[in-house]
Chains A and B, each alone.
Chain A
Amino acid sequence: MSIHSRQISRRSVLAGAAALGLTGTLAACGGSDDDSGESGGPVKLTYWSWAPNMEKVAAIWNKKNPDITVTVSKQASGAEILSKLITAKKAGNAPDLIQVEYQSLPTLVSNDVLADISKYAGDTKSDFSEGLWGMVTLGTDAVYAIPQDSGPLMFYYREDLFKKHGLSVPKTWTEFAETARAAKKAVPDAYLTTFSSNDPGLFAGLAQQAGGKWWTVDGSGKWTVGVDDAATKKVTEFWGGLVQEGVIDNQPMYTPPWNQALNKGTHLAWVSAVWAPGVLVSSAPETKGKWRMAPLPQWKAGDNVTGSWGGSSTGVSTDSKHAEAAAKFARWINTDPQALAALVKEVAIYPAATKGQSGDILTTPEFFSNQKDFYTTAAEIAATTAASAWGPNVQTTYTAFQDNFGKATKAKKETQFVSALGTMQAKTFDDMKKQGFEVAEA
């Protein structure tokens, strides 16, 4: 027994040494601590991720690559993983691999948590749509992460109830407003949907569709904050108007009453992203097979553009002593057909890689068994995702959204919606200025 294991370990030592031949050069150019001292066992990488079952995908890699072992460490998502990463970086022990939401990339790059992996990225750019790739490069020559999943916005509606009440599926936002009014008329205690002040990500996606550019940076390194630009103002006035009119609900999403509204059919539709089926399964289990997905309503008839809500990428930290091995894994997990299939099956994500969005990797969600072409339609919509522009203090903007739009939705006043947007802009701008960014208001 002990002889056996020793033989095995010796074999893996040899394999590891071969792998270290690669990483050795990297360590030299990275100028970081040399790791030749621990030549021996395989390269060990830690991967911080919040997605469930990510370890199952990593297990496939570990089986195929005994020389590079990836261990998944489950983390919280959102702002919590961000502050944890920034703290870990300060202490010099950030994990090798990190799951990063797109809107958090600039914050992490600004805190020097994410390494530029452009030299290991090769031709992987061609695996992704231009809009997605632009998010991980931040418009520079660097590559800060490999896109993993995306969340193009779509319009979900109760097919049965729409038919029953003679409602039409809106193609433009004007039609959406009309449908909301018609729905209110048909079922007085129901709403078409709600405007949630707890979900800044959705609001950002809607602004993105309208052409909003919240952060831009010019060649000289000067930032421009345009949270209250004309496009976002248009979106704000639109939703504020409908809430004031009383045809759109003002309750936050992801609460027990919201689940009940979906389940009971007092919300007839939901503006959501491609991952909505997964939410509906648990929030509104009784409505299985009654929903249908359509493209997001457009601002101009004939347009074809959507925003995104959520989505994340895989980055390599500046603390990693094995950046090349880590980058190799990041490429594999997000572009390899077997990895993509596992991500879809185990982690239930919508892959960012173009080839992951077609073919037989994605099977129609069971909840949408009535819509056989769910993913074909989804891929068409995903291709129309507008480019988004994120800045280094998204969290400040998001908190300002929650606090101020919370008050506005409670008051149900369009004018308060607009002033809430103004406060969002002011807080974002002031915060960047305070941090020392060179910044201007749009």
Chain B
Amino acid sequence: MTSVPLKGSDRIAAGPLADGTGTAPSVRPSRPRRRGRSAPYWFLVPTLALFAAFTVVPIGYSIWLSLHKVKVKGIGLGKGAREQVWNGFGNYTDVFQDSEFGHSVLRAFGYGLIVIPTMLGLALLFALMLDTPKARSAPLARLMIFLPYAVPGIIAALMWGFLYLPDVSPFYYLLDKFGLPQPDLFNGGNLYLSFANIAVWGGTGFNMIVIYTALRAIPRDIYEAARIDGASDLHIALKIKIPIVMPALVLTFFFSVIATLQVFTEPMALKPLTNNLQSTWSPLMAIYDSAFLKSDIYGASATTVVLALATFVLSFTLLRISDRYTGEDRA
């Protein structure tokens, strides 16, 4: 039962009674044992303290804020004009009644439907291609695919923004030269494609590396056995490699879903360039808008809590589903 490992000398000193029944005949051996028991907790203290200070307390404060609101009195100017009052679940009912936030969530889903399959599909494809024995200059190719991930999101967004603007983009110059149609990349559905393109460009490399690392961990002799059985490279990829790296795919999918719900940088950076982007385009933009533009930290806290819970529930459900799926597969 004792999970705390004892030093050899202690074990000898304490004898058979060292199994935690606590009826040691003398005080002397129990002292080092007590110290030994509390030691792990002392090692945990820094982590727990930091976790409490920078995660638990802020989350608690957010929840507390989300249950309050400001009430203005009289003319609303000067000292004592504003008072923080209890608002119960008022902010939460507002969140669910706020069609703008609802729309922003729907937009994020629409964006995710484009980004996630494309990005993960490409990442898997690249990883499999790099993993084939025939791949030449694989390290260089790997680096080239990974490189966009190293570009900070805001810079990537601005760079693509310039490429999307007809008056300054070299692509439009070429389209114009060849008399091809020039689509408005900031209009309607194209907007989703434009954002998705930035995300795919920046994120594929990272996901490719995750999948590729998992592929490299597969023992090579499995392939040899498959080849002896007459499997082609394609067969090996589809029947062996993909099933084995499934956990890595689930992981990248998981990351991507969270990143989709948190899309912020691209729309924020491109907003000043066009009439078509609302200040509440994505869920995080809606939160930013209420917290930092409208200075309503109470409503923003409630929205944040809702978004965090939704992300949590969604992730958890997806994990359960994938667990069941891979579990059945194994059986």
Contacts and interface: CB of A to CB of B under 8 A. Distances in A.
A320 interface: no
Contacts of B168: 256-257, 260
A82 B272 CA distance: 20
Contacts of B280: 403
Contact of A83 (B187, B273, B275, B293): B293
A255 B273 contact: yes
Interface string B17-35: 0000000000000000000
Contacts of A223: 75-76
A395 interface: yes
Interface string B314-326: 0000000000000
B295 A86 contact: yes
A314 interface: no
A110 B76 CA distance: 5
Contacts of A112: 78-82
B70 A436 contact: yes
Nearest to A86: B295
B301 to A, nearest CB: 13
Contact of B292 (A83, A107, A142, A256): A83
Contacts of A142: 78
B214 interface: no
A79 B292 contact: yes
The DSSP consensus for interface residues of chain A is helix
Interface string B50-88: 000000000000000000001111111111111000000
Interface stretch (A18-26, A51-59, A406-414): A406-414
A410 B289 contact: no
A410 B276 contact: yes
Nearest to B84: A90
Contact of A406 (B78, B275, B291): B275
B121 interface: no
B166 interface: yes
Interface in A98-124: 106-107, 109-112, 116
A407 B275 contact: yes
A107 B295 contact: yes
Given A110-B81, A399-B294, A252 B275 contact: yes
Contacts, number: 106
Interface string B247-277: 0000000000000000000000000111111
Contacts of A398: 293
A410 B272 CA distance: 14
Contacts of A256: 162, 165, 167-168, 273
A409 B187 CA distance: 13
Interface string A387-409: 00000110110110011001101
Nearest to A198: B272
B273 A252 contact: yes
B279 interface: yes
B167 A436 contact: no
B102 to A, nearest CB: 15
A138 B77 contact: yes
Nearest to A252: B275
Contacts of A140: 77
B279 A403 contact: yes
Contact of A392 (B73, B77, B165, B293): B77
Nearest to A396: B294
A197 interface: yes
B212 to A, nearest CB: 38
> For this complex, into which size category does the number of interface residues on chain B fall?
35 or more
B213 interface: no
B272 A392 contact: no
A406 B75 CA distance: 32
B295 A221 contact: no
A257 B167 contact: yes
Contacts of A406: 274-278
A436 B71 contact: yes
B294 A392 contact: no
A250 interface: yes
A318 interface: yes
A435 B70 contact: yes
Contacts of A80: 292
Given A83-B291, A255-B272, A106 B77 contact: yes
Contacts of B79: 112, 318
Nearest to B162: A256
A431 interface: yes
Interface string A224-250: 000000000000000000000000001
Given A256-B168, A257-B166, A399-B289, A217 B75 contact: yes
Given A112-B79, A407-B275, A410-B276, A255 B295 contact: no
A200 to B, nearest CB: 11
A111 B74 contact: no
A79 B77 contact: no
Contacts of A106: 77
B275 A111 contact: no
Contact of B78 (A116, A255, A395, A407): A116
A64 B331 CA distance: 84
A180 to B, nearest CB: 19
Nearest to A109: B77
Interface in A179-232: 197-198, 217, 221, 223
A431 B72 CA distance: 12
Interface in A249-269: 250-252, 254-257, 260-261
Contacts of A438: 74-75
Q: Which of B165, B274, B275, B289 has the most CB atoms of chain A within a 10 A radius of its CB?
A: B275
Nearest to B272: A198
Contact of A435 (B72, B74, B273): B72
Interface of B: 70-82, 162, 165-168, 187, 272-280, 289, 291-295, 297
Interface of A: 79-80, 82-83, 86-87, 106-107, 109-112, 116, 138, 140, 142, 197-198, 217, 221, 223, 250-252, 254-257, 260-261, 318, 392-393, 395-396, 398-399, 402-403, 406-407, 409-410, 431, 435-438
23 contacts: A79-B293, A110-B72, A111-B81, A112-B80, A198-B272, A217-B75, A223-B76, A251-B275, A255-B273, A257-B165, A257-B168, A261-B167, A318-B79, A396-B293, A396-B294, A398-B293, A399-B289, A399-B293, A403-B278, A406-B276, A407-B276, A435-B72, A436-B72
Top 7 A-B residue pairs of the complex, sorted by shortest distance between their CB atoms: A221-B75, A257-B167, A436-B72, A406-B275, A436-B71, A83-B292, A410-B275
